[in-house]
Structures are given as C-alpha cells and as structure tokens.
Structure 1
C-alpha cells in the first residue's frame, strides 16, 4: 500500500516537474568534498560526538563518521556538519 502511494507521488512530481524530495518528504544531502555536509529535511539529531553524528530522517537515519566533526548552522530544516567526513551510512 505504501509503495503504491509512493509511486503515485513520484509520477505526480515528474508530471509537475517538482523535485521528488519536496513531494515525498525525502532528505537532501549535499557534500562539499569531505569537509562539509549539508542535510536538509531532517527530523533531529539522535547522537553527536566529535567522531560520529546520527541524524534522524523520515525513513531511517544518517550516520556520519569522521574526525573533528562539529555542528554548525543548526536550523529546523537543515544541519551543517563540518570536519573531516570519512564515512556516510544511510540506515533504513
């Protein structure tokens, strides 16, 4: 049932030329080299240490591993992670 609704939303987004992340409530993840990571449309921070950050997403979570990780520009809709990113893992 859920996959049928998702398929309809994807087709609608294609017909109306609307980005799928907006229609389907998906996260948008933008990485600049291995020094900055911008996560938009998140649901909050689960865990934060200088070597690992876990961020809750609509479906699952994003695990960021690295060194000297810091959170900058915290907003309701986006988080900027700075430091040396060594690993990204999307857990569903």
Structure 2
C-alpha cells in the first residue's frame, strides 16, 4: 500500500508541477557558503553539539559537521544553523 501511495504522490507531483519537497515530505536545505544552513521540513533534533547537528527526517537523518555551531532559529519544522559547516550528509534508514 505504501508503494502505491508513493507512486501516486510521484505522479501527482509531475502532473501538477508541484515542488517535490512539498508533496513528498523531502527536506529543503539552503546553504550560504560555509556560514549558514537553513533546513525546512525536518522532524526534530536528535543531537546537537558545537561540532555536530543531527536531524530526523521522514526517511532517514541529516548529519551536519563543522565547528562553532549555534542554532539561531528553531521552529517545529525549520532550523537555522550558523557556524563553519564542513560536511552535510544524508543518512538513509540503513546507515543510521
């Protein structure tokens, strides 16, 4: 049933020319150099330190590594992180 639902969402996204992140619950990530990263459509913070941020996504996790991290804005599904961003990695269900 999940597969049929996902295929239907894919088809609707293409036919209606809607952004994939809206229809498929994908994260939207906007980076400004190595200084800021803005993440929309996450499911919560799993881990935060001065050098690492791990967010839960609908499917998998997002791992951000760097230094001098400060969360400037945090809302239920949005987050703005400042600091030196060295690495952004998407971890699927198998890599956790």
With structure 1 as the length reference, what TM-score do the two structures score? 0.92
- 1:33–1:3 Cα change, 3 Å: farther
- Per-residue deviation, residues 6-38 of structure 1 (Å, max 9, x unmatched): 232112111111111111111111111111101
Equivalent position of 2:69 in the other structure: 69
Distance 1:22 1:46 in 2: 23
Runs of 5+ unmatched residues, structure 1: none
Match of 2:74, SS?
Answer: coil
> 1:79: which partner in 2?
79
Q: TM-score, normalised by structure 2?
A: 0.89
Q: Residue 11 of structure 2: SS of its match in structure 1?
A: helix
2: distance between equivalents of 1:72 and 1:6? 34
Structure 2 unmatched ranges of 5 or more: none
The answer as to 2:5 corresponding to 1:5 is yes
2:36 corresponding residue in structure 1:
36
SS of 1:21's equivalent in the other structure is helix
Shift of 1:5: 2.7
